[in-house]
Chains A and B, each alone.
Chain A
């Protein structure tokens, strides 16, 4: 019995060892490939692409840092209005984005879309379009279209918000409990009533949470809109940079930091109140 059993178990043991060896070799190959890739990235982007001649010594680097650290506090009173403008841009942009998101989410939710073959792909396409174009590119487009100022910033923020808000909303609509919807249809409710009474109450917490989160992100986005002439703190940043007033640049960065921190606190409490 042991004679017949032995080769089987030996075979099993050998197979196990061989399998383990193969796996170890595979792992080593994977690590080697990753290291090679990393080395190539490092070589190509840092060693090859950096302008070593222009980089100063330790003194030069330290001197530049020092210029940035000597904060120009005299700029502070002039920052209040742009900071408010940034905040307003984020708020209005988010609200406008929500308005645009309504039809997009309706089109792009498979279970309520008016047409599976036309509006559903259209809705999904608009979501991708909104997210695949960077907010700065949107801003450049709108600065070209409606001129300088906060308005192009608001529009850019709105367009960029549509993708996220409508995608999350559409997914929430797809995940609702269908039973209340059936009940509203059974009492004779029309399309609007089915959505308003059957769907909206179910997705409301998700949507409000998403909007608050998006507003939080939009403060960040609004803060850089000025780089392309669309108002707010970014514009001050751009001017200070153009005047080589590094102390002023640092102050603007600090102002953005404070603004975002304020937004963080507000959205934290707002979300708590909703959910």
Chain B
């Protein structure tokens, strides 16, 4: 059963400007941990950001949880976004807020104006935040400011924030490219473990091909706005990689 369906997706940032995505089709199913790989400028980030409409699609359709994403107005869009967890390249934490407040901010989509003004989150949210922080190994850093943590720790806060939403799909935008190789493997392993535990499909944008092949069970290869490869990670051959990264070799 497919959770996400992308049909003939085209994006250009300005009318008449260059097309970043030139007609992308794919589906993501319930147990997919799907990596999107490709050279810089292939449109990977744009693709990920289209799915929760941080970037507006120009043409085509995105169907998520059985409803079309593109025509949604602000209120419905917010209700959709809170079902999508997102983890970012630069973590995108609010540096001057505590780790706990950053994690709790994952619940903002479900929190009323009054509660969010006083940062008075319900008891169950606080319990869940503490649980998740323990799961990602940050139980000793709850009250620290986000900018007091190391890169790997900050990304763990990002993971906890995304899981706070009880997401039905996870979007990962280069979650490891600000981290060193060892920490990258830890973080990807943690995400895979948690995604499997909570049964969340993942669409992950990643430039480290080796790490993608190790972690993910499916690969989508992109080049210059087109989909060049789509298949299981195990079936990927060296020729396929060469084709995706052809532009860089030349």
Contact = CB atoms under 8 A, between A and B. Distances in A.
A185 interface: yes
Interface stretch (A125-133, A143-151, A196-204): A196-204
Closest 8 A-B residue pairs measured CB to CB?
Answer: A188-B109, A188-B82, A183-B92, A188-B81, A179-B92, A189-B108, A186-B86, A201-B96
B116 interface: yes
A186 B54 contact: yes
Given A186-B86, A188-B82, 12 more contacts: A180-B92, A180-B95, A182-B92, A183-B94, A186-B54, A188-B78, A189-B109, A190-B78, A192-B113, A193-B111, A193-B116, A197-B101
A141 interface: no
B162 to A, nearest CB: 8
Q: Tell me which of A184, A188, A190, A193 has the highest count of chain B C-beta atoms within 10 A of its own C-beta.
A: A188
Interface of A: 177, 179-180, 182-190, 192-193, 196-198, 201-202, 204-205
Q: Tell me which of B79, B90, B94, B161 has the highest count of chain A C-beta atoms within 10 A of its own C-beta.
A: B94
A197 B92 CA distance: 12
Contact of A192 (B52, B92, B116): B116
Contacts of A202: 94-96
Interface of B: 52, 54, 78-84, 86, 88, 90-97, 101, 105-111, 113, 116-117, 161, 165
A197 to B, nearest CB: 5
Contacts of A205: 96
A197 B96 contact: no
Given A196-B116, A201-B96, A184 B86 contact: no
Contacts of A201: 94-97
A180 B113 CA distance: 19
B105 A184 contact: yes
B78 A180 contact: no
A224 B95 CA distance: 42
A180 B81 contact: no
B243 to A, nearest CB: 32
Contacts of B86: 183, 186-187
B88 A183 contact: yes
B52 A186 contact: yes
A183 B93 CA distance: 8
Nearest to B145: A201
Given A187-B81, A188-B79, A179 B90 contact: yes
Nearest to A177: B95
Given A179-B88, A180-B93, A193-B116, A185 B105 contact: no
28 contacts: A177-B95, A179-B90, A179-B92, A180-B93, A182-B54, A183-B86, A183-B105, A184-B108, A185-B54, A185-B81, A186-B84, A187-B82, A187-B106, A187-B107, A187-B109, A187-B161, A188-B82, A189-B105, A189-B108, A190-B78, A190-B113, A193-B116, A196-B116, A197-B97, A197-B105, A201-B94, A202-B96, A204-B96
Contacts of B96: 201-202, 204-205
A180 B96 CA distance: 11
Nearest to A183: B92
Contact of A183 (B107, B116, B117, B161): B161
Q: Tell me which of A183, A201, A204 has the highest count of chain B C-beta atoms within 10 A of its own C-beta.
A: A183
Q: Tell me which of A177, A180, A186, A192 has the highest count of chain B C-beta atoms within 10 A of its own C-beta.
A: A186
Contacts of A183: 86, 88, 92-94, 105, 161
Contacts of A192: 113, 116
A242 B219 CA distance: 88
Contacts of A204: 96
Nearest to B84: A186
Contacts of B81: 185-188
A192 B114 CA distance: 11
B108 A197 contact: yes
A252 B172 CA distance: 66
Nearest to A203: B96
Q: Tell me which of B80, B105, B161 has the highest count of chain A C-beta atoms within 10 A of its own C-beta.
A: B105
Contacts of B95: 177, 180, 201-202
A211 B41 CA distance: 44
B111 to A, nearest CB: 8
Contacts of A182: 54, 88, 92
A188 B74 CA distance: 10
Contacts of A187: 81-82, 86, 105-109, 161, 165
